[in-house]
Amino acid sequence: MKPNYPTLEQTIGRTPLVRLQRIPGDLAQARGNVILAKLEGNNPAGSVKDRPALSMIVRAEQRGEIRPGDTLIEATSGNTGIALAMVAAIRGYRMILIMPDNLSLERRAAMTAYGAELILTPASQGGMEYARDLALRMQSEGKGKVLDQFGNDDNPQAHIDTTGPEIWQQTEGQITHFVSAMGTTGTIMGVAAYLRDCNEAIQIVGAQPAEGAQIPGIRKWPEAYLPKIYHADRVHALEYIGQPEAETMARRLAAEEGIFAGISSAGALVAALRVAARVQNATIVFIVCDRGDRYLSTGVFNQES
Ligand SMILES: Cc1ncc(COP(=O)(O)O)c(C=O)c1O
């Protein structure tokens, strides 16, 4: 009998959780705090978004809303587009991704490598909001199904089913604080929902860009534009992260810990360190959303720290 080899899809998740050795410094050690990084860049398409991309497509399939061969549509400029393009390739869907035309070439190339079709909208016409409107218009014209990661419960559900249980098991139930950058808020909502049921005392901390900071993948949403999947009562504290401190931390994570990660991941670590400075005997987990090579063309890793 042949071994039961996994398919690529079955390798999504079960990412490593590793302890930082240098950046937390002597103070964290003296206080008895440990800071752990959940390495989501180890997913096959390179980010935490592999989990919700798989969940949104498989669950829609299970409900009979879509079937292989159908066309899926999503307005996304980042990791979600790359992850959806991979899952669509694995499961046999046509994937149309709509995004503003000022997006970095390396991201576009990754999406088309997976066979997705790109529709570029003029950035001057209103960026992502315009792209989202066009996606909905195409759906109403019968051109395909919009997955809508901002309003789709299958996005946080991916983290209730997988990321949350993994963190609980990997820390043997000792986690005291969970820190995540917030984009769609799917990660923080899903993990928070799971961990709250394990231990109500676990503190959930969200990282958002400070006023004027541009950190790819995360936004400080105005009240009217908050993602539908967001429930404010699941987050105990918000930390606002400046662009220079996030970029400096991304360089330090690579050079001092060997973790080559994106800027939003470094922002989550900045938030985790602020928490560590206030608490004792804590086990703090933060999400490393993706890998640093996705940001090479921005020049962020060229600068002196
Ligand atoms: C680079 C990056 N960081 C953070 C996030 C935030 O994750 P979530 O959408 O689950 O809040 C995203 C989401 O798109 C992202 O692409």
pLDDT at res. 226? 86
Residue 305 has pLDDT above 60, yes or no: no
Residue 79 has pLDDT above 90, yes or no: yes
pLDDT at res. 239? 98
Average pLDDT estimate for 220-232: 86
| pLDDT range class, residue 28, cuts 50, 70, 90 | confident
The residue among 207, 211, 213, 273 whose CA lies nearest residue 243 is: 213
User: 143 is written with which tokens?
Assistant: 């051109």
pLDDT at res. 32? 97
- 18: which strand partners? 37
Q: In one letter, which amino acid is 59?
A: R
pLDDT at res. 291? 96
Residue 143 has pLDDT above 90, yes or no: yes
| pLDDT range class, residue 282, cuts 50, 70, 90 | very high
Does the Cβ of 190 fall within 6 Å of ligand 1? no
Average pLDDT estimate for 65-92: 96
pLDDT at res. 123? 82
Q: Name the percent of the chain lying above pLDDT 90.
A: 84
Residue 41 has pLDDT above 70, yes or no: yes
Residue 126 has pLDDT above 80, yes or no: no
The residue among 273, 271, 221 whose CA lies nearest residue 242 is: 271
Does the Cβ of 160 fall within 6 Å of ligand 1? no
- Is pLDDT larger for residue 220 or for residue 201? 201
C-alpha span between 270 and 245 (Å, rounded): 8
Q: Fold identical between 8-44+157-298 and 50-146?
A: yes
Average pLDDT estimate for 215-244: 91
Continuous segment of H or E residues that includes residue 275: helix 263-276
Between the CA of 7 and the centroid of ligand 1 the distance, in Å, is 25
pLDDT at res. 1? 87
- The arrangement of secondary structure in 8-44+157-298, i.e. its CATH architecture, is 3-Layer(aba) Sandwich (3.40)
Between the CA of 53 and the centroid of ligand 1 the distance, in Å, is 12
What residue segments make up the domains of the chain, in order of their start?
8-44+157-298, 50-146
Is 47 catalytic? The answer is no
Residue 181 has pLDDT above 90, yes or no: yes
- 94: which strand partners? 71
Question: Chain-wide mean pLDDT for the chain?
Answer: 95
Average pLDDT estimate for 268-282: 97
Q: Name the percent of the chain lying above pLDDT 70.
A: 99
- The arrangement of secondary structure in 50-146, i.e. its CATH architecture, is 3-Layer(aba) Sandwich (3.40)
Nearest-CA residue for ligand 1 atom 6 is 183
Nearest-CA residue for ligand 1 atom 4 is 217
C-alpha span between 244 and 250 (Å, rounded): 10
Is 49 catalytic? The answer is yes
Pairing of strands 34-39, 17-19: antiparallel
Continuous segment of H or E residues that includes residue 18: strand 17-19
Does the Cβ of 162 fall within 6 Å of ligand 1? no
C-alpha span between 27 and 44 (Å, rounded): 36
The percent of the chain in helix, strand and coil, each rounded to the nearest 5, is: 45, 20, 35
pLDDT at res. 304? 60
Does the Cβ of 289 fall within 6 Å of ligand 1? yes
At 85-101, the pLDDT tens digits run 999 999 999 999 999 88
Q: Give the residue, out of 289, 290, 298, 300, with the most ligand 1 atoms within 8 A of its beta carbon, to mutate for a pocket test.
A: 289
